[in-house]
Chains A and B, each alone.
Chain A
Amino acid sequence: MKTNPSKLQTARTNGSVEFYETQIQRLWRRFSSHRLAVFGGCIVLLLLLSAVFADFISPHDPLDLDTSRRFIKPFTDIHFILGTDEMGRDTFARLLHGGRISLIVGIAAMFATVVTGLLVGLISGYYGGKIDNILMRFTDTILCFPQVFLLLILAAFITPTVISIALIIGLTSWMEVARIIRAQIQYIKKQDFIQASFALGASGPRIMFRELLPNAMAPVLVSATLNVANAVLMESYISFLGYGIQPPLASWGNMLTNAQAYFDLSPWLAILPGIMITLTVMSFNFLGDGLRDALDPRLKM
């Protein structure tokens, strides 16, 4: 959006709102100049829409099997655009419904991650001292474990459902968010308006949730977006190994498990879910990067 300097001058003298770009406008200007982020955002939107309306878009039931039409190649049959798998199920329908499951897990895991990280970081940053010390040592300790190891052990212990998978992914990835929030809170806490709240006798929870938290939301938004990407990756991996989403429910990860057996015969069964995972993870990563640049140019890598 280009602004004309003389127009700005008249706008200023008239005291018109045009001179003052609102927060949202400024964010949008910065965000939309980041081409890859806009591209990522569009893909994310498309993926979300296709997940919500999967039942309407897909021409077949993803569980409808018929062994008389196994291994149809993609783009050869008008009824099965992306072909069929080893049980004759429609790949397009399975990709759509698998995407729904993968995105639900990704977003639910993101919420688990952000809520846990937010609480730990907020309490740690606000109270400081002993509480901070204990919580941060705990965070450091969890960070010592490689995530995939912890995740697989927990996944082997629980009954895998969409919610339980999302929860364990959240439980093993909140540490980064907690650290970011803590640093942010420590910085905001020193500012005058928080000191003023203290002086006015505001309660701890009020300061935490009404004053500190809203001011620390920008980095939370960024890491929430990036966390969806990571959660989708993690879910696909543990489902691929057989500890995540269980068949017949399709997820991109467990579609790859079956595809591995028919690799030589029908590689597209392995290629398509992989492309979907990559596309999803990449879009969320680009979106997160763009948001970071738009919200806080200082954080730019």
Chain B
Amino acid sequence: MFKYIIKRLLQAVPLLIGVSIIAFSIMHLAPGGPLSVYTLNPSITAQDIDKIKVILGLDQPIHIQYLKWAGGMFTGNWGTTFFGGRPVFNVIVERIPATFLLMGSAMSIAILMGMFTGILGAFKRYSIFDYLATTGAMVALSFPTFWFGLMAIYIFSLKLGWFPSGGMFTLGGEEDALDLLRHLVLPTLVLALVLVAQWSRYTRSSFLEVINQDYIRTARAKGIKGSKILIRHALPNAVAPLIALAGVQLPWLFSGALVAETIFGWPGMGRLFVDSLTMKEYPVLMGMVMFTAIAVIFGNLIADIINAVLDPRIALE
């Protein structure tokens, strides 16, 4: 097991290097490179730009620039913002709790509801419920989430007035848990919609595969109760691919959170990303891209290790 974990960790290293190379090249693809924001400013002369280049080390050969930049990335020195000169690392890190709260609540709802409908669909295959659930999942997967968000605001905030239309706390109000919860409902709903659909589809197919296996038939033949077969025999076997799914879903979860945050003005990383995009804050954008990619790599690593702990056969392969 220990050997397997070390092996998986080592496999993550080339991925991290690849991610940093791609992020670095994208930064240099930017019109005018990392200095474009200065070239747009009329009060900065060409000589000033040359000076800034020397200060930031942009006059050095490209591979040295990359090594310096990558070194900074792994030591937490992610540069400073163009406007305000704050460390990029801090700017991003302070947005993490809001995003993770949103992602966590949406993911819990998705796992609970998705697994429930998926399991029920698999056991009552071809029933009306199964038909409605699979078609419903397909429709949910086709919704443009940002539009779903707009409609949710229109119905639940503007017309019914049940939930606030944006933000994390009521302005000037008391910032307590209840207020937070009221603000959390709509963004969570929007983010969870597609996740529930994905989870129910994967759970259904994973369970369908398992319940046709011989050991389930044997358990049935022995006269074991249906609920016991489900919990003791089917569930542990069907759940393994679902843990891997949670890891694979991470990039999608970040993208989805970005969409939900921009619609609802939720002050998380996605909101920061879109704001930085309009302000052309390249250091923040690059930092965010690196952060999400690293989070995805580690998310997948953790999912693999959990799977290996649950099923030692994986570690032996």
How far apart are B133's CB and chain A's nearest CB, in angstroms?
13
Within 8 Å CB of A150, what residues of B? 26, 289
Contact A264 B289, CB 8 Å, known A143-B251, A278-B142: no
Mark out the residues of chain A between 148 and 169 whose CB falls within 8 Å of any chain B CB in the assembled complex: 148-150, 152-154, 156-157
Interface size class of A (residues with CB under 8 A): 35 or more
Is A237 in the interface zone, CB < 8 Å from B?
A: yes
Is B310 in the interface zone, CB < 8 Å from A?
A: no
Is B135 in the interface zone, CB < 8 Å from A?
A: yes
Within 8 Å CB of A154, what residues of B? 26
Q: Count residues of chain B with CB under 8 A from any CB of chain A.
A: 44
Mark out the residues of chain B between 123 and 150 whose CB falls within 8 Å of any chain A CB in the assembled complex: 135, 138-139, 141-144, 146-147, 150
Cross-interface CB contact of B158 among A141, A157, A264, cutoff 8 Å: A264
Bound-state CA distance A301–B241 (Å) is 14
Is A199 in the interface zone, CB < 8 Å from B?
A: no
How far apart are B131's CB and chain A's nearest CB, in angstroms?
10
Bound-state CA distance A145–B273 (Å) is 14
A241 contacts B15, C-beta separation under 8 Å = no
Within 8 Å CB of A281, what residues of B? 142-144
Cross-interface CB contact of A156 among B14, B255, B280, B297, cutoff 8 Å: B280
Within 8 Å CB of A137, what residues of B? 14-15, 18
Is B186 in the interface zone, CB < 8 Å from A?
A: no
A289 contacts B138, C-beta separation under 8 Å = yes
Is B19 in the interface zone, CB < 8 Å from A?
A: yes
Cross-interface CB contact of B138 among A153, A264, A285, cutoff 8 Å: A285
How far apart are A52's CB and chain B's nearest CB, in angstroms?
23
Is A174 in the interface zone, CB < 8 Å from B?
A: no
How far apart are B273's CB and chain A's nearest CB, in angstroms?
7
Nearest-CB residue, chain A, relative to B208: A301
Mark out the residues of chain A between 252 and 301 whose CB falls within 8 Å of any chain B CB in the assembled complex: 256, 260, 263-264, 267, 270-271, 273-274, 277-278, 281-282, 285-286, 289, 301
Binary flags per residue of B242-280, CB closer than 8 Å to A gives 1, else 0: 000000000110110011001000000000011001001
Bound-state CA distance A140–B258 (Å) is 22
How far apart are A252's CB and chain B's nearest CB, in angstroms?
9
Within 8 Å CB of A229, what residues of B? 142
Within 8 Å CB of B297, what residues of A? 144
Bound-state CA distance A281–B197 (Å) is 15
Bound-state CA distance A142–B15 (Å) is 9
Contact A149 B147, CB 8 Å, known A156-B280, A157-B30, A263-B158: no
Bound-state CA distance A287–B153 (Å) is 31
B15 contacts A149, C-beta separation under 8 Å = no
How far apart are B95's CB and chain A's nearest CB, in angstroms?
14
A148 contacts B22, C-beta separation under 8 Å = no
B296 contacts A263, C-beta separation under 8 Å = no
B147 contacts A278, C-beta separation under 8 Å = yes
Bound-state CA distance A278–B307 (Å) is 36
A140 contacts B15, C-beta separation under 8 Å = yes
Contact A141 B19, CB 8 Å, known A267-B154, A301-B201: yes
Contact A157 B255, CB 8 Å, known A142-B22, A264-B158, A301-B201: no
Is A233 in the interface zone, CB < 8 Å from B?
A: yes
A285 contacts B150, C-beta separation under 8 Å = no
Within 8 Å CB of A142, what residues of B? 22
Is A147 in the interface zone, CB < 8 Å from B?
A: yes
Bound-state CA distance A277–B255 (Å) is 19
Within 8 Å CB of B29, what residues of A? 157
Is B105 in the interface zone, CB < 8 Å from A?
A: no
Is B293 in the interface zone, CB < 8 Å from A?
A: yes
Is A146 in the interface zone, CB < 8 Å from B?
A: yes
Is A126 in the interface zone, CB < 8 Å from B?
A: no
Within 8 Å CB of A285, what residues of B? 138, 141-142
Is B205 in the interface zone, CB < 8 Å from A?
A: yes
B205 contacts A301, C-beta separation under 8 Å = yes
Is A71 in the interface zone, CB < 8 Å from B?
A: no
Is B292 in the interface zone, CB < 8 Å from A?
A: yes
Is A187 in the interface zone, CB < 8 Å from B?
A: no
Within 8 Å CB of B141, what residues of A? 285
Bound-state CA distance A153–B29 (Å) is 10
Is A207 in the interface zone, CB < 8 Å from B?
A: no
Is A65 in the interface zone, CB < 8 Å from B?
A: no
A157 contacts B31, C-beta separation under 8 Å = yes
Within 8 Å CB of A152, what residues of B? 273-274, 277
B289 contacts A149, C-beta separation under 8 Å = yes
**Residue in A143, A153, A240 whose Cβ sees the most chain B Cβ within 10 Å:** A153
Is B285 in the interface zone, CB < 8 Å from A?
A: yes
Is B305 in the interface zone, CB < 8 Å from A?
A: no
Contact A271 B151, CB 8 Å, known A150-B289, A157-B29: yes
Within 8 Å CB of B274, what residues of A? 152, 241
User: Can you list 10 A-B contacts (CB < 8 A)?
Assistant: A140-B15, A146-B252, A146-B296, A147-B255, A149-B289, A152-B273, A237-B146, A263-B154, A267-B154, A285-B142
List of 9 A-B pairs having minimum Cβ-Cβ separation, nearest first: A141-B18, A282-B142, A148-B255, A274-B147, A146-B254, A281-B142, A146-B251, A144-B293, A146-B255
